[in-house]
Structure 1
């Protein structure tokens, strides 16, 4: 699974890097609503939530579906205005001004994209402002999220202008409450990162800078397609004449572990990449590798073998005796674990010993390690 961005024929100068204050506010709101996704931000989320005005906290609950489990494209308005330059504003106010310039249909579709995420990303659903079926679908999905989400969605569809004013005011209150000070600290570092990556792109080319952005990004040899290794399928083009050509990379200090790719039809593609992922140790494995590892660990006998291999190195014949199966059967199971990169293998004289790589398994989940070592 992956998201691809068609860049065939895109001039090099149309690939750019820039901070985006409104997009970063979205990620900050996500971190506040889902603190378990972001354990490294615990001190910030705890302090910010404790200091938040109760009235503002309550208002945030009305619209949290726009940032809690998915990330609404309304937080990147610069990418959705036909004929615009595709660049974020230097301030949150400038980004909010761009949001005000977005037409109602585009705004509503983006705000409610969680209601039909796959169809929205494929451009295959009519506007709920005009189509009764689309409206019913949006409200049905909102109702499943809860009464507050349903009430907000009804307001959004019945009085779009009022909701747009309400949303801007709420985001401005967030800036006053916590984001202005946070952005003051983060913006210089993000600006420095975008300058650095712009220089890397100019001097060393696209493949090199993509590796610096994320290990999940790659480009084909012909420099025509960028691929983001994600557990979702999608496609976008950076050369749509209706919206304007361009591909933007936006850094985020709040984003890890999320690598976001805006790929809705009629919007310029944007890659929202987390900073400081290198501090977490080894680069993340591909989705294909993760799938192999999960499948390898799902087999009951391999789980049992892992119980022994986590404690000490074993030979194939030793494992066969312990578990009462043949050596060839053990070898087949070990081959699966080794292909998934879960084993250390070393030769000790004329014997070959195998042991589970706990550092790799720990990146899959501590519950598994605790289970096999219990």
Structure 2
């Protein structure tokens, strides 16, 4: 399985490497919400959390579905703007100004990407104007609990108000912790940007992509970039550019923005910290046996990013409820997933710490 980008006819000058303050803030929020995804950031997460204002921490929970799974395309708004040369802002304020330029339809569709499973890399309807999609979005939000249901209702009823709320929240995060973090990280990102840009100029795209990640392969004859991920997707560059955006907080995530009508973006980590030791042999045997089935690997990919109900997994994978339940039972017996009840819903989630003990290669494949 993979995500591919058709780059036939892409001119070298239309490939750019640039950091994005807003994308890095999105990754920071993700790491704070899912520290298990980022064992190398435990010290930073602990420090930020300890001094975080309780009111800001509460607000962080109101819309954490925008960054808990990975993070929403809203954190790379430059990719959604018309034209062939849209690039990230040099400052967070400039990136937020670009976010303000997205249409309400773009904003809402991107905000509902993970939890409401709206069309992504194909042309689809709009939740603001399509009653069926609107009802489906609200129904799926209900499975996530009353807080997300309320936020989704407000989002669909009054997008400008939610957009203003989000901008103010991100500005408050900048004041509280991100400005200091960005002042330290931007030098590493600038150095990586210069290095990749120099490679592009003197040795070509293939050489630069080799250093982005071993999971990224360029087939120059076919005019296609293939990113090895446990998902399917496709994007075609016609009148847009290809952007490479580095992150210092992102490992092990390698993300590909391939939303229909948006500029393709590769968001790649700079550096890769180590992980913890493996489990006992008996545990390892049981867990590897549980993961030997391709469907269970796909379930792990979903559950690594967020909690899901059995019915949601049924819809995603096109299987029956008993089939999904049997696979979940095997994963739970192996100690790879946890479950908790929220009202009438039972939510399943991957134990990322347990999976990390199986090895960095497998965890990186799941989170890529």
User: TM-score, normalization: structure 1?
Assistant: 0.73
Question: 1:214 is matched with which residue?
Answer: 213
| In 1, Cα distance between equivalents of 2:63 and 2:121 | 20
| In 1, Cα distance between equivalents of 2:123 and 2:107 | 14
| In 2, Cα distance between equivalents of 1:362 and 1:165 | 42
Alignment of 1:149-298 (within 5 A): 149-222=148-221, 224-239=223-238, 241=239, 245-277=240-272, 280=274, 298=292
C-alpha deviation, 1:55, in angstroms: 0.6
RMSD of aligned alpha carbons:
2.2
Distance change in 2, residues 1:89/1:129 (3 Å): same
* 3-state SS in 1 of match to 2:235: strand
| In 1, Cα distance between equivalents of 2:139 and 2:47 | 36
Question: 1:133 is matched with which residue?
Answer: 132
C-alpha deviation, 1:71, in angstroms: 2.0
Question: 1:96 is matched with which residue?
Answer: 96
C-alpha deviation, 1:85, in angstroms: 2.3
| In 2, Cα distance between equivalents of 1:169 and 1:268 | 26
Structure number with larger C-alpha Rg: 1
Distance change in 2, residues 1:166/1:363 (3 Å): closer
Distance change in 2, residues 1:118/1:258 (3 Å): farther
| In 1, Cα distance between equivalents of 2:204 and 2:36 | 37
C-alpha deviation, 1:115, in angstroms: 3.5
Q: Is the 8 A contact 2:188 2:248 kept in 1?
A: no
C-alpha deviation, 1:4, in angstroms: 0.3
Task: Spell out, residue by residue over 1:22-43, the C-alpha distance to the aligned partner (whole angstroms, 9 max, x if none).
Answer: 0000000000000011011000
Matched, 1:82 2:82: yes
Distance change in 2, residues 1:41/1:3 (3 Å): same
Q: Could you list the runs of 4 or more consecutive aligned residues of structure 1 that deviate by over 4 angstroms after TM superposition?
A: 293-299, 360-366
| In 2, Cα distance between equivalents of 1:258 and 1:200 | 23
Q: Is the 8 A contact 1:123 1:264 kept in 2?
A: no
Distance change in 2, residues 1:132/1:44 (3 Å): same
Equivalenced residue count is: 289
* 3-state SS in 1 of match to 2:143: helix
